[in-house]
Structure 1
Amino acid sequence: MHDSPGPGHVNFTLDLTQEEARRRAEVVAALGDAWDPVAALRSEEEAHRLLYSGLDAEQQRTYAMLVAAGVLPGGDAGDAAPH
């Protein structure tokens, strides 16, 4: 790789660090003061637990296979009764 530009080419560098910081600040501002990240995470974990609860044996095997393959995050599949 050459550090100097060839004929008719100009090196161009763009640092997006400041723009990314501004974008993140805008996202947090848009979420508002009432946003609770811990509560949001708990709600997401509860939704995941409920989604994969009540699986029958075949569904549980498929779930375990997908977790082992890295397709789904691991963890407890929930404790509701099978449908």
Structure 2
Amino acid sequence: MSTSHSTPATGPGDAAEQVDFAVDLTSQEILRRAQVMAALGPDWDPVEVLRGEGEAYDLLYSGLDAEQQRMYDDLVAAGVLPVRGGGHAAS
């Protein structure tokens, strides 16, 4: 018993053409940014937000016991956490 395989003919008409496809999302990005700013509202103060963030981090790392302070110091030394208050968590 003999089995023969045939391969379909290929030629210029059989090949799928590749087409370059590009999308410019510039207008969508501008719209997204405008919507974010509208959602933040006119009272949004980025400087105050950063100040509040700093206060939150100070509070987060305050009142550490000896083991927590050691871990904090190790993380600062390893560059995982930024130096705050001279390299020690706030008391």
- TM-score, scaled relative to structure 1: 0.70
Aligned CA RMSD, in angstroms, stands at: 1.9
- Count of equivalent residues: 73
Cα separation, 2, equivalents of 1:7 and 1:72: 54
Cα separation, 1, equivalents of 2:75 and 2:19: 48
Specify which structure has the bigger relative contact order, considering alpha-carbon pairs within 8 angstroms and separated by 6 or more residues.
1
Q: Which residue of 1 is the match for residue 29 of structure 2?
A: 20
Cα separation, 1, equivalents of 2:22 and 2:64: 52
For 2:71, the aligned partner's letter is T
Identical amino acids, percent of aligned pairs: 61
Cα separation, 1, equivalents of 2:17 and 2:76: 52
Q: Which residue of 2 is the match for residue 60 of structure 1?
A: 69
- TM-score, scaled relative to structure 2: 0.65
